[in-house]
Amino acid sequence: MMNILPNKYDRVTRLLHAALAIGVVTQLLLSAVMKVPAGRGLGVPDWHRAAFEWHAKVGISVAAICLCHWVWILLPRAKPGYVHLFPWLKRDGREALRREWKARPPSSHASLSHLAPLVGTVHGLGFLAVTGSAMCGLVNYLGYFLGAPIPRWVLHGVGMAHIAFGYLIWAFVIAHVTMAVLHRVVRERPDAWDVPSR
């Protein structure tokens, strides 16, 4: 049975994290099967096109969740707040990161007694990638679906950045799942990292 500290993350942070995770995974799955049409109203109206349109619409929700998440983590009452996601912004956070990096593999009880800065950094970098992708997607939506007067070269650059952020998010999700599995192994079998002596 997992032993999670009840006060480690506040309820709003947990809800926003869950909503963002569901939105991001949905977006990744849609992006894997969608086909971007050459322009508004162009292309074959098939399920690939429908996946693209759903991707665009779900992206609005993800952008809104991102914005709410940013507002929340910057509030003093948020637990653990932005400092956990970006420990490298402060000197003591950078020092804690160095200490944790040198102490690899982690103690099986480390995450139970405190908020590990390495975990926070991974989440923070993923959050930045999701935010960047959501903002690029929002600009694309304004230009593509709503016909906002955005120059084509800007839309092209933003579209390329959106794709790049997508690859970063795929890497983040894979790393996140891998770290969660390793974390579970370390907690259930603390001796899993021990190298047998000859």
The pLDDT profile of the chain, 198 residues, written as one tens digit per residue, is 344 445 678 899 999 999 999 999 999 999 999 887 766 666 667 888 889 889 999 999 999 999 999 999 999 888 888 888 888 888 888 888 888 877 765 554 444 445 778 888 888 999 999 999 999 999 999 988 888 999 999 999 999 999 999 999 999 999 888 877 887 787 777 665 555 555
Which residues neighbour 150 within 8 Å (Cβ) at sequence distance 6 or greater? 139, 142, 143
Domains and CATH numbers, the chain: 11-191 (1.20.950)
Residues 118 and 44: their CA atoms lie apart, in Å, by 46
**136, 63 Cβ separation under 8 angstroms:** no
Q: Where are the alpha helices (DSSP H) in 74-104?
A: 82-85, 91-102
